[in-house]
Chains A and B, each alone.
Chain A
């Protein structure tokens, strides 16, 4: 045969192919440069801008941003009303995390351990679709439900439980004029919207508990409750923590749900939103925005130590 051992180059495409083969890092660079450039400049650059802004301050008289480095803006965070906002947000985030964990557990547990065949798909879609469906529509739906003249009041009246409803609404700190203007309402909506974020990692880590381990536990004489406490719960913990990362972080930053369902009390996200808008105090808004970042970094470090990242 007279065919050569080396075939000839057929044009630019071949030359480029040879170039990338000889210098594989070149190909890597070509692939990575546009996206990294974008993310670096747009995203990291913005985060840097945020940090930078938080070290600027507002001139009280002119209302203009004074572009000099100062810690004055951070100091403002410690004013009573601002501290109040931060604490309120932390409290709500913790409550929401707890609420989500409690409601998600049966769903995640059932889906991980007992759902088979088509039920597995049902549970999968059943959690995935609400996760991805419109955030605003979900919040809106709850505004309808919790409204004074809405379905909950109607149902409570129908079953004769309106006294209990009103009693709950009368509790200070939680209740309000109606469910849709009470912290309780805000709490309910938060739990609803973030629930899928808690279910998924929980389910993932529960799925990793081998049935044989549960059987071994029963075999060794543990009651169901004991098996739950000593085997299932600890193994599910990384999933719970992973889910809590989402619920905590999302609640801390949210400014829409408190606006639509709740009192006029402010949360961090709302404070940021209002400060950068009509109030025109961008440095303080930036400072407020840095707070959740710091809290989440601390939280994430603790979570990583507890192995939560394997469940993500």
Chain B
């Protein structure tokens, strides 16, 4: 099966050739058709640039980009069968909602009746029936986001790109939209490529995700893989809230002298006597569904996640640490 999107050694450099700014640096990427793919990373990591390389608003300085097997290096954005939901929605302020949604059809020359019917269909899909006559200025943030979504879907694109679409929404709305997007994608079967800096969002929505760092991909995999078996320190730090142990501490914990990660929920607290690892409790946080206990030892601090109901030690108490050795995941490196 052809991949929906394929990057082969793609680079996007800015500035003089002697000292280029490498926004994207030799990225290889394959996005399977019909998947919900997330590109995760801090700002400036290159994920948005990669998204724009797919849509055509950036041109690569090196490498090849294929969409469903076709090389799109020479194709401008308006001829790629790819549509984008922009971060600020970019709705046309002078048109009403129906005309906004129908815009993609209008520029293709579809007659008014057909495109208005399609627009209404799309509005139904995003649960905005009856909003056709309103202007964007009259809509709330969440409603504008749905219009942007409907507008991008009306062309039935092969790939839908979403550039941090939920960033401007408040928490409850964001979570609701996350569910809706997942349902929509499953229903339509279109490949979704989703950019976010929120690792929780990426982990909960994506079928597979790529973690970006400084223009390169640090790891690609399913959310479970990336979370429990991060390849590098950067990924471990950025995704989830695992304990990241520098090489010396890894040795103390019984592993090789390399960076490792250990999930907080894999750590158990015991009585300090006769245990190989022990330390002082320096922090206690009640989380409702459990407690997070920070323990200082060997010049570093690790966090243990205790489920609700377990006895919680006192601040300053000495405790022992125990864990299943298989849970200590050794990583490849730092970046």
Contacts and interface: CB of A to CB of B under 8 A. Distances in A.
Q: Do chains A and B touch in the complex (CB under 8 A)?
A: yes
Interface of A: 1, 3-9, 14, 17-18, 21-22
Contacts of A1: 156, 158
B158 A18 contact: no
Interface string B64-86: 00011110101111111110000
Tell me the dominant secondary structure on chain B's binding face: loop
Given A5-B81, A6-B67, A18-B76, 11 more contacts: A3-B158, A4-B70, A5-B69, A6-B72, A6-B80, A7-B81, A9-B79, A14-B78, A18-B74, A18-B75, A18-B79
Contacts of A17: 76, 78
B77 A5 contact: no
Nearest to B77: A21
Contacts of A22: 59, 74, 76
A5 B70 contact: yes
A4 B158 CA distance: 8
B156 A3 contact: yes
Contacts of A4: 68, 70, 81
A27 to B, nearest CB: 12
A18 B72 CA distance: 12
B187 to A, nearest CB: 15
A189 B238 CA distance: 69
**Which 7 pairs show the lowest CB-CB distances between chains A and B?**
A21-B76, A5-B68, A5-B67, A7-B79, A18-B76, A5-B70, A5-B81
A6 B76 contact: no
A6 B156 contact: no
A5 B81 CA distance: 5
Nearest to B67: A5
Contacts of B81: 3-7
A14 B109 CA distance: 14
A205 to B, nearest CB: 32
Nearest to A4: B81
6 contacts: A5-B68, A5-B82, A5-B158, A7-B81, A18-B76, A22-B74
Contact of B70 (A6, A9, A14, A21): A6
Nearest to B76: A21
Which among B77, B79, B80, B156 has the highest number of chain A CB atoms within 10 Å?
B79
Nearest to A20: B76
B63 to A, nearest CB: 17
A8 B76 CA distance: 11
Contacts of B69: 5
B79 A14 contact: yes
Contacts of B74: 18, 22
Contacts of A5: 67-70, 72, 80-82, 158
Nearest to A24: B59
A302 to B, nearest CB: 36
A171 to B, nearest CB: 61
Contacts of A7: 78-81
A14 B78 CA distance: 9
A9 B74 CA distance: 12
B78 A6 contact: no
Interface in B68-115: 68-70, 72, 74-82
Contacts of B76: 17-18, 21-22
B118 to A, nearest CB: 15
A7 B79 CA distance: 5
Nearest to B82: A5
